[in-house]
Amino acid sequence: RMPVSVPGTDRWQRASAAFFLSFLSLVFSITALSSNYWCEGTRKVAKPFCIGQDKGNHCIRFNSPDASNSNAVQYIWETGDDKFVDQKFHAGIWYSCEEIINGEGEKCRSFISLTPASDRGVLWLSIVAELLYNILLLTGVVLMSVEMCYYSSVIDGLKINAFSAVVIVLAGLLGMVAHMMYTTVFQMTVNLGPEDWRPHTWDYCWSYCLAWTSFACCMAAAVTTINKYTKTILEFKHKRKMLERSLKIKYKFPDH
């Protein structure tokens, strides 16, 4: 005998998959939005003078026993690699933080204040799009949870399913636009930002990858939701055709 799948169970499994992907997308997006690790890199900064008993390679030991040695002083001030040190930084949508040379912790500045004036409008649009992306994702998750717990009418469940599919697709489009706008703004800030911030080397960090993973999960949830809606409609059409065929046969060959 061929195995027969139960339509209700199959629909519930697809609804569960769409809900799980949407919820995962929401968690990833909130985590990425609240962090400041979208990009990271290093800056070349001049070494400060050593204070007191400071030692190491992160400061210039000017008041040293060899300060009277002209060769030592010449070496310090003419060799570029020796008077500069790499300062690590990481940046996100909200803040850019830099490590403190010869100290503990880091200092942070608003990323909006670092952005060139001509690109701040694009950054604000990116922030608004990111917030709307999360709101739509949350709405989609709530709708899917209601659909999973709503067993009284399949038709009402289909209506909720169609609405959640539209919401998730819109969320994915907004997320994609928001991520691309932030990428553009960051690259413009690297080229035209303040001199005391421009990085020497930089690359995208884990929050940026998490944001795009959230977008991928959102699109997967949208495809799963649309597939569930389409398959349910096709099942209804098939059942209606089978019912019409059985009624035709019944009235064509009535029981004697």
Structural domains counted in the chain: 1
**Which region among 12-21, 111-120, 128-137, 148-157 has the lowest average model confidence (pLDDT)?**
148-157
In the prediction, which pLDDT does 226 show? 86
Query: What is the DSSP pairing of strand 84-91 with strand 39-46?
Result: antiparallel
* Contact between 14 and 227 (Cβ < 8 Å): yes
Residue 228 lies in a domain: yes
Q: Residue 16 belongs to what domain range?
A: 7-35+116-234
Q: What is the pLDDT of residues 198-226, one digit of tens each?
A: 888 899 999 999 999 999 999 999 998 88
In the prediction, which pLDDT does 188 show? 93
Q: What one-character-per-residue DSSP string does 54-85 give?
A: --SSSSB--SSGGGG-HHHHHHHHH-HHHHEE
Q: Is 5 a residue whose pLDDT tops 50?
A: no
Residue 170 lies in a domain: yes
Q: Is 175 a residue whose pLDDT tops 80?
A: yes
Taking phi over 0 as left and psi of -120 to 50 as alpha, with beta for the rest, 105 belongs to left
Tell me what the mean pLDDT of segment 150-171 comes to. 80
Tell me what the mean pLDDT of segment 169-190 comes to. 94
Query: Could you tell me which residue, 32 or 251, shows the higher pLDDT?
Result: 32
Distance CA 96, CA 91 (A): 4
Residue 196 lies in a domain: yes
Q: What is the CATH number of the domain that holds 200?
A: 1.20.140
Q: What is the pLDDT of residues 42-91, one digit of tens each?
A: 888 777 666 655 555 566 665 455 544 444 444 444 444 566 778 889 99
Q: How far is CA 213 from CA 18, 21, 28, 218, 232, in A?
A: 15, 11, 7, 9, 29
* Contact between 110 and 95 (Cβ < 8 Å): yes
In the prediction, which pLDDT does 177 show? 95
Q: What type of residue is 35?
A: S
In the prediction, which pLDDT does 248 show? 66
Residue 27 lies in a domain: yes
Query: Could you tell me which residue, 8 or 137, shows the higher pLDDT?
Result: 137
Joined together, the tokens standing for residue 141 give: 């998750």
How high does pLDDT run on average in the chain? Answer: 80
E strand or H helix at 170, and its extent? Answer: helix 154-192
Any idea which residue has 């608004």 for tokens? 128
Residue 255 lies in a domain: no
Q: Is the pTM of this model over 0.85?
A: no
